[in-house]
């Protein structure tokens, strides 16, 4: 069929049997095509976010020997199906699927130190989600932001953790942060 589609209707049927009807011209005979739109219509609506703004509180001592959970979130954002918990600094996934994971953190810390932030899934580091930032020498506030697409499982607990590049006893203070997930398929 050549030309433009003048009308598009999507009928929400059970997943895997969504029907799209379209016509080639006004008043024309509807052409019906059955297609699978799994996730894009029937499964949207699984999301959650936690955040903080200018906490002014130092994180527990950070070192290079292992990750420390970022524990400065103070607000549960919008949510549906997945569960945000600023009190536990984590998000629990509501449904199994493919998710967009969004992270943005402004922080200060020990001068000239390199920090690595990583998503942890059920307590284990996800090596595909590392964010690295080196601060300057004079009290800089650094900003890191990242998005990832990951297959997640219902009930999985997600949190963010940080470690420094060398030594121990490094300072890490969140100025503002957002951590959220949104199911895309």
What confidence score (pLDDT) does residue 59 get? Answer: 75
Identify the band that residue 137 occupies on the pLDDT scale cut at 50, 70 and 90: confident
Q: Which residue has the higher pLDDT, 22 or 119?
A: 119
The DSSP call for residue 19 is E
| Average pLDDT, integer, range 154-183 | 92
Q: How would residue 140 be classed by pLDDT, with cut points 50, 70 and 90?
A: confident
102 or 169, higher pLDDT: 102
- Domains in the chain: ranges and CATH: 1-42 (no CATH), 47-183 (2.60.120.40)
For the residues 106-126, what does the mean pLDDT come to?
Answer: 93
Confidence of residue 84 (pLDDT cuts 50, 70, 90): very high
Between 172 and 15, residue with greater pLDDT: 172
pLDDT at 34 over 60: no
């Amino acid at each position: 069929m050549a030309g433009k589609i003048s009308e598009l209707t999507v009928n929400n049927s059970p997943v895997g049997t969504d029907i799209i009807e379209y016509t080639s011209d006004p008043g024309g005979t509807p052409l019906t095509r059955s297609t699978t739109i799994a996730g894009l219509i029937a499964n949207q609506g699984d999301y959650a976010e936690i955040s903080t703004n200018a906490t002014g509180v130092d994180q527990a001592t950070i070192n290079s020997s292992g990750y420390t959970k970022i524990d400065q979130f103070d607000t549960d954002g919008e949510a549906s199906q997945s569960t945000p918990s600023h009190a536990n600094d984590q998000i629990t996934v509501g449904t199994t699927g493919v998710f967009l994971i969004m992270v943005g953190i402004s922080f200060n810390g020990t001068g000239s130190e390199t920090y690595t932030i990583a998503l942890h899934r059920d307590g284990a580091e996800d090596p595909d989600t590392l964010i690295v930032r080196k601060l300057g020498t004079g009290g800089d506030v650094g900003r890191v932001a990242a998005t990832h697409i990951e297959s997640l499982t219902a009930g999985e607990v997600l949190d963010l953790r940080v470690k420094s590049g060398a030594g121990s006893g490094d300072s890490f203070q969140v100025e503002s942060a957002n951590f959220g997930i949104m199911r895309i398929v």
